[in-house]
Amino acid sequence: MSDLMILALKVTSILLLSYFLYRVSSSIWWKPKWLERRLRQEGIRGNSYTPLIGDMRDFTKQITEAWSKPMSLSHQILPRADPFTHNTVQKYGKVSLCWAGTTPRVNIMDPQLIKEVLTNRKHQMGVPPSALNPLILVLSQGLTILEGEKWAKHRKIMTPALNLEKLKGMISVYAESCSLLVNKWKKAIAAEETCEIDVWPEFKDLTRDILSRAVFGSNFKEGNEILNLQKELQQLVLKAFQYSVIPGFRFL
């Protein structure tokens, strides 16, 4: 191999390495910091960017702590269901900034702004696919993931199912499922007149029964297999959400 070819290979290798380092440093540091500066110029406050992991560590820590304690008997469900978002909004206001890995997210808790976002098709909806763990894109392609025209199309398809008159027509379905649950409880207390019931799994089964009847047109047993698969899918998606996106890591 001639000296000229060796020199060309060295130069090519250096250029490729430089380009790779530029792309990595840009995605991990320069681009997130630029986005953070632009958002702060718009008056949006939030946590400062932590390279690569963002707020994922705090998110996991806070939700683990919240779920490890008994829930208080109140209607304040947000500190339990999503403590990180609750604390962020309490600290920085109804429009605040947080980080999903290297991607900034804007929390909108103002009703008027939420209404504008949900009704204006010009607004981009969903979480940008590039900001997600690629496993999530394999597992889920719902409204929270889609964006732009795809989001608008799917929302338009789903809207008739949530029409108020159609929901009113399902009252008989709800009533039948509730009656079955009440009768089940009556039988449980018939023998001794008192009975201790863990209502959490009972209400989960009630919800699943209503969904089976209303959505699938079947009873609980027939729709249970589909609902179990959906539950497993939800758990996999939630698990994937807890990890930052590291390019190529999923292949390991």
Cα–Cα distance measured from residue 205 to residue 212, given in angstroms and rounded to the nearest whole number: 10
pLDDT given for residue 44 in this prediction: 92
Helix, strand counts (H, E) of the chain: 12, 3
The pLDDT of residue 38: 92
Give the model's pLDDT for residue 239. Answer: 72
What predicted TM-score, i.e. pTM, was given to this entire model?
A: 0.56
**Contact status, residue 93 vs residue 45, Cβ threshold 8 Å:** yes
d(CA 243, CA 104) in angstroms, rounded, equals 15
Distance CA 161, CA 170 (A): 11
* pLDDT value of position 220: 58
Q: Where are the domains of the chain?
A: 37-120, 164-217
Q: Which tens digit of pLDDT belongs to each residue from 79-111?
A: 888 899 999 999 999 999 999 888 888 888 888
Residues in the chain predicted with pLDDT less than 70, given as ranges, are 1-2, 120-145, 216-223, 240-252
Among residues 106, 121, 191, 188, which one has the least CA distance to residue 152?
121
Q: What is the pLDDT of residue 159?
A: 79
Q: Three-state DSSP class for 1?
A: coil
| Distance (Å, whole) CA 236 – CA 241 | 9
Q: How many C-beta atoms lie closer than 10 Å to residue 54's C-beta?
A: 22
Q: What residues form DSSP beta bridges with 97?
A: 46, 106
* The pLDDT of residue 20: 85
Q: What is the pLDDT of residues 158-187, one digit of tens each?
A: 777 777 887 788 888 889 889 999 998 988
pLDDT of residue 21: 85
Query: Which residue, chain included where needed, has tokens 């729709």?
Result: 223
Which uninterrupted H or E stretch holds 36? helix 31-41
